[in-house]
Amino acid sequence: MSIHRISDQKQRLSLFLETESLNEYLMSNERELTRILGYSGCEHFNFIRSTDSLNSNIIDNINQFVIFSVNDKIDHVQIGDKNISPSEYKHVHFVPEMAAVEAFADKIYDKDRLNSNELNSVLVLFIHRTLILYGIYEKNTFVFVTQNRRLLENREWLEKKLGKLNIMTTQESMRYMDLYAKYESKYYVEPYHLVNKDLWYWDSFRTKIPHYHVPQRENMESVHILEGLASRFKFLLLAIDEIGIQLYFPKDRDIMIPYHFNYFLSLATGIFDNLAIETKSKYGISFDGDHIQSKISLSSKSGKDFLRQVRIKNHTLYTHIKNYDKFIELIHNLRQISIHREGFRDMTYLDSTGISFFFEIKKEKHVQDLIRCCGDKPSEYDKYSKWGIFDNEFFIFLEPYQFVTAVAKQLIKFCDHYLELMGFTKFIDSLPEGDHYRSELESFSEFRLGF
pLDDT tens across the length of the chain (451 residues): 334 334 444 478 999 999 889 888 887 888 888 899 999 889 899 898 887 655 666 666 787 776 666 666 666 666 665 555 555 544 555 555 788 889 999 999 998 788 888 998 999 999 898 888 877 776 668 999 999 999 999 999 999 999 889 999 999 999 999 999 999 999 999 999 999 999 999 999 999 999 999 877 666 666 789 999 999 999 999 999 999 999 998 888 889 998 999 999 999 999 999 999 999 999 999 999 989 999 999 999 999 999 999 999 999 999 999 999 999 999 999 998 888 787 777 777 666 556 677 777 777 788 889 999 999 999 999 888 999 988 877 778 889 999 999 999 999 999 999 999 999 999 999 999 999 999 999 999 999 999 9
Same domain, residue pair 178 and 216 = no
Same domain, 46 and 156: yes
In a domain, 437, yes or no: no
Number of structural domains (the chain) is 2
**Residue 157: per-residue pLDDT:** 93
Helix, strand, or coil here: 159?
helix
Task: Assess whether 258 and 141 both reside in one domain.
Answer: no
Residues 126 and 216 in one domain: no
Is residue 447 in a domain? Answer: no
d(CA 263, CA 233): 12
H-helix or E-strand spanning residue 93? strand 90-93
Does any domain span residue 406? yes
> Which pLDDT score, from 0 to 100, does residue 169 have?
95
| Inter-residue contact 91 to 2 (CB < 8 Å) | yes
Can you give the C-alpha Rg of the chain in angstroms?
A: 25
Residue 83 within a domain: yes
- 25 C-beta neighbours (distance < 10 Å), count: 20
Whether residue 81 is contained in a domain is answered as: yes
Helix pair 225-248, 400-421: axis angle to 10 deg = 160
CA-wise closest residue to 125 among 231, 48, 229: 48
Taking the C-alpha atoms of residue 30 and residue 27, their distance in angstroms, rounded to an integer, is: 6
Which stretch of DSSP H or E encloses residue 13? strand 13-17
User: Do residues 405 and 268 both lie within one domain?
Assistant: yes
Q: For 97-224, where are the alpha helices, taking DSSP H only?
A: 98-109, 116-133, 149-153, 155-162, 170-183, 197-208
What length does the chain have?
Answer: 451
* Predicted pLDDT of residue 33: 85
Supply the pLDDT for residue 408: 98
Same domain, 239 and 169: no
The verdict on 215 and 172 lying in the same domain is no
Cα 24 to Cα 46: distance, rounded to the nearest angstrom: 22
Q: How far apart are CA 55 and CA 305, in angstroms?
A: 59
Q: Please say which residue of 166, 183, 200 terminates a domain.
A: 183
Q: Residue 268, exposed/middle/buried by CB under 10 A (0-12, 13-18, 19+)?
A: buried
pTM: 0.91
C-alpha distance across the termini of the chain, in Å: 40
70 forms beta bridges with 73
What pLDDT is attached to residue 219? Answer: 65
What 3-state class would DSSP assign to 286? Answer: coil
Asked if the structure places residue 344 within a domain, the reply is yes
- On whether both 256 and 175 belong to a single domain, the answer is no
Domain end marker among 164, 183, 202 = 183
* Residue 436 is assigned to a structural domain of this protein: no
Domain presence at residue 199? no
Across the chain, how many H-helices and E-strands are there? 16, 14
- C-alpha separations of 53 from 16, 23, 24, 74, 119 in Å: 14, 8, 11, 21, 17
20 and 142 part of one domain: yes
**Could you tell me the residue range of the domain that residue 296 belongs to?**
211-425
* pLDDT tens profile 354-411: 667 777 777 778 888 999 999 999 999 988 899 998 887 777 888 999 999 999 999 9
User: In this structure, are residues 19 and 54 in contact, taking their beta carbons and an 8 Å threshold?
Assistant: yes
User: In this structure, are 150 and 225 located in the same domain?
Assistant: no
Judgement on whether residues 262 and 322 belong to the same structural domain of the protein:
yes
Give CA 285 to chain center in angstroms.
39
If asked whether residues 215 and 349 sit together in one domain, one would say: yes
Tally the C-alpha atoms within 13 A of residue 194's C-alpha that lie toward its C-beta: 12
C-alpha closest to that of 269 among 305, 303, 312: 303
